[in-house]
Amino acid sequence: MSAPFFQMSLIVQKYGGTSVGNPERIRNVARRIVETQDQGHGVVAVVSAMSGVTDSLIKLAREVSPHPEEREMDVLLATGEQTTMALTAMAINAMGRKAVSLTGAQAGIVTDGVHTRAKIADLTPKQLKHHLDEGCICIVAGFQGETKDKRITTLGRGGSDLTAIAVAAAVKADLCQIYTDVDGVYTCDPRVVPTAKKIAVISFDEMLEMASSGSKVMQSRSVEFAKKFGVTFEVRSSFNNNPGTIVKEETKSMEAVVVRGVSIEKNQAKVTVRAVPDKPGVAARVFTAVADAGIIIDMIVQNVAHDGTTDISFTLNKDELPKVETTLGPVAKEIGAKAVEIQGDIGKISIIGVGMRSHSGVAAKMFEALSKAGINIVMISTSEIKTAVIVDEAKLTAGANVVHEAFGLGR
């Protein structure tokens, strides 16, 4: 194949499980893809398994084995995306266009060998490019790849987003669109803060902080991958034609907005190890034990010591609590701490924005807003572009609303 006479723009689209949830929706997706081609673009579409299919497959697996081998689980789950990709290609063919489907392996997605949560190691889109050069629309199975020694792997949660971004990087796409069942990224969860607005543009770092602070639109690792390879992408809905949220490299003008969004996280708990002797190695002892037990923690706070002891506090998801109690009891005794205290029913409110770097008084404004509303702050943690506070879970909604209002995000 010779190179096309002029270089078309190339768009990678990703359609999630609800967007392809039944044959009618698959035909809608096909129509959207065809429209994109009609606008003069080359198109690669990455598709997930139809919603519900992955769960049915997992159920089948449990019926033949209490603990299915992960290698075989990947072989089984990979059929979900393979089904969608074939159906999507058929639906496009039925509209008179040429489409071909490719499995992760066929699309050149090479992963490491960690079954059920593999990492993409390499992507050589030879077949993809060949079919694009022929003028074909390419439908690629999301969520899956193949090891160098030809084992089928899956990429774990959010894997199809990762596939789309990796493919976009490999084919040097002009744009990557992540079609999902939400309209984009909002200044806060609209179910909590009714005045929340859709964000038009957000930087990779802000999106990462939003993701890690409770905004569930995308998994962090897909955003990290996009940041690493400089892939600009748009999060938008497959059920309407509204523009979504563009996620891209930070630009100077982005700093004009001090706070991009407010993120909230429910179901948190706080653990405090009381009256720990203030000497080197003690904190390390506590957090090594926590890490060894596989407990995922979030914020850590240690205050200055008085009377030769200090308190060490950290927060985590409530689901992690049972592991904490069995792990920290012996450690507390060993280091001579007074007690391990646990406080449930707390939540986290975070404000995020690259503008914080160049604006002062942002944290103070947040604290003031909460204080005026009579909301007590239990813990504070800050990073370069984020300020997070822990409050009573009962005050989470009120707190998110006053903070959102204080920074004018609803306007």
Window 242-271: contact mask with a second copy (x via CB under 8 A): ------------------------------
In the set 2, 3, 67, 358, which binds a second copy (CB under 8 A)? Answer: 67
Torsion of CA 176, 181, 182, 183, to 10 degrees: 60
Question: Per-residue x/- marks for a second copy, 351-390, CB under 8 A?
Answer: ----------------------------------------
CA distance 241 to 229: 27
Among residues 35, 55, 69, 249, the one that binds a second copy under rule CB under 8 A: 69
CB of 63 to a second copy, least distance (A): 4
Give 154's strand partners: 144
394 binds a second copy (CB under 8 A): no
For a second copy, the binding residue among 57, 283, 305, 380 (CB under 8 A) is 57
Q: Name the minimum Å distance from CB 66 to a second copy.
A: 7
**Does the footprint of a second copy cover residue 32 (CB under 8 A)?**
no
Which two three-digit tokens encode residue 291? 């890490």
Token output for 128: 């993809």
CA–CA gap between residue 362 and residue 343 (Å, rounded):
28
Beta carbon nearer to a second copy, 63 or 292: 63
Shortest distance (Å) from residue 77 CB to a second copy: 9
Told to check if 72 binds a second copy by CB under 8 A, we report yes
Q: Take residue 315 and report the two structure tokens written for it.
A: 């927060």
Closer to a second copy by CB, 73 or 211: give it.
Answer: 73
Bridge partners of 366, per DSSP, are none
* Both tokens assigned to 120: 């993409």
Q: How big is the chain, counted in residues?
A: 411
- Show contacts with a second copy in window 90-129 (CB under 8 A): 90-91, 93-94, 100-101, 103, 106, 127
Encoded amino acid at 218, one letter: M
Taking the complex as a whole, how short is the minimal distance between the CB of residue 118 and a second copy, in angstroms?
16
Taking CB under 8 A as the binding criterion, the range among 87-95, 163-171, 212-220, 290-298 that sits at the site for a second copy is: 87-95
Q: How far is the CB of 135 from a second copy (least distance, A)?
A: 15
Half-sphere exposure of 54 (CA within 13 A, CB side): 22
Q: Percentages helix, strand, coil for the chain, rounded to the nearest 5? A: 40, 30, 35
Q: Hunting for tokens 């985590």 — which residue is that?
A: 316
Among 13, 37, 82, 215, binds a second copy (CB under 8 A): 82
The number of C-alpha atoms within 13 Å of 270 and in the hemisphere containing its C-beta is 23
b/e string for 290-308 if b means 16 or more Cβ within 10 A?
Answer: beeeebeebbebbeeeeee
**Residue 392 CA from chain centroid, whole number:** 26
Interacting positions 205-234 with a second copy (CB under 8 A): none
Nearer to a second copy, 141 or 299 (CB): 141
Min dist CB 86 to a second copy, Å, is 4
**Cβ within 8 Å of residue 233, ≥6 positions away:** 164, 165, 168, 175, 176, 177, 178, 226, 246, 247, 248
Residue 403 interacts with a second copy (CB under 8 A): yes or no:
no
Distance CA 331, CA 278 (A): 15
Judged by beta carbon, residue 91 or residue 389, the one nearer a second copy is 91
Specify which residues 43 forms β-bridges with.
Answer: 11
Does 85 bind a second copy (CB under 8 A)? Our answer is: yes
- With beta carbons less than 8 A apart as the criterion, state whether 215 and 185 touch: yes
Min CB(267)–a second copy separation in Å? 33
Question: Residue 53's CB: how many other CB atoms inside 10 A?
Answer: 19
Considering only residues 140 through 159, tell me which ones interact with a second copy, judged by CB under 8 A: 150, 152
Residue with tokens 């069942």: 181
The residue within the footprint of a second copy, chosen from 12, 44, 76, 406 (CB under 8 A), is: 76
By beta-carbon proximity to a second copy, the closer residue of 146 and 205 is 146
Give how many residues touch a second copy by CB under 8 A: 40
The pair phi, psi for residue 27, each rounded to 5°, is -65, -35
Smallest distance from a second copy to CB 102, Å: 9
Token pair for 302: 């240690």
Which 10-29 residues touch a second copy, going by CB under 8 A? 23-24, 26-27
User: Least distance (Å) from a second copy to the CB of residue 94?
Assistant: 4
Number of H helices, E strands in the chain: 11, 18
List interacting residues with a second copy (CB under 8 A): 23-24, 26-27, 30, 57, 60-61, 63-69, 71-73, 75-76, 78-79, 82-83, 85-91, 93-94, 100-101, 103, 106, 127, 150, 152
